[in-house]
Structure formats: structure tokens, C-alpha cells
Amino acid sequence: MTTALGSALRLHHVGIILPDMDDVAGFLTMMGHTEDYRGYVDRFQCWCVFCAAPEGSAQVELVVPTGGSLARFNKGSGGVHHYAYETPDIRAVQATLAEQGVRMLEDEPVKGAGTFLCNFVHPVATRGIMIEYVQPL
């Protein structure tokens, strides 16, 4: 993917919402994945379980809502939620998108479940496709 900044961005992860931790365990077993790490994101009311990925590959993030709008995603049954792209400067991406009239969900980046900041492009700008930008810390 190329942003308005003109730089190619690496796919960081794909986020999948699952209803509960039992579904996470089942998904890991069924797909042959192993957990790399997990964290809780207060702002989005969810656990984020990142699967281990081969070096240089994008991760799969399993998102388990504990409340809020994510719990209602796809009528509570979950599914593919977002594609996340890595950037060295999330604020520069936000500024460039703002110049094009594209809003982000948050005014400022949020500390993600891993060692990164994150923010989502407002889905109005992408016809409902959730795009996240992450900046490693």
C-alpha cells in the first residue's frame, strides 16, 4: 500500500474479532498458530492476542471485546475487522490524511496492545473498510 506520503507501507497485521477466549483457543488450534503476546486496550475495551508469525510476515491479531461497539461487530459473531499498516511516523500519516479531508477515529494515536501506537482511519472515508496505522515504539 502506498500512502499519500509516497512511501510503501508493510502490512503489520490483520485483526479478527472473536466473541470470547474459548474461540481464541479454538482458532489457534484449528489454524496451527501459537500466541506471541497479548494485551488489553482500555480505549477499545478489548483483549488483543497476537499470533506468532514468520520473520517478515504480517501477524494475525485476535480481538476479544469486553464491551463497547466491538462486542456488536457483525452482530456479535466477529469476523475480519481491520488491516493494519506499519509506519515510522503515525502523526505524519494523520496530518497528510487530514490535508485530504480524511478523519481518524481518534484525535491522537492510542497505545496499542503491543509496543506500538495506533489509530484507525474513520470508516466513512474507506466505505466501511477498517484501516489501522501502527507506529512501533
Quick: pLDDT tens for 60-118: 999 999 999 999 999 999 999 999 999 999 999 999 999 999 999 999 999 999 999 99
Model confidence, pTM: 0.91
Mean pLDDT calculated for residue range 41-56: 96
Q: Which domains does the chain have, with CATH numbers?
A: 10-136 (3.10.180.10)
Top pLDDT among 8 and 55 is at 55
pLDDT at residue 95 in the model: 95
pLDDT at residue 7 in the model: 55
- In the sheet where 116-120 sits, what is the strand order? 35-41, 46-51, 59-65, 10-17, 79-86, 130-136, 116-120, 110-111
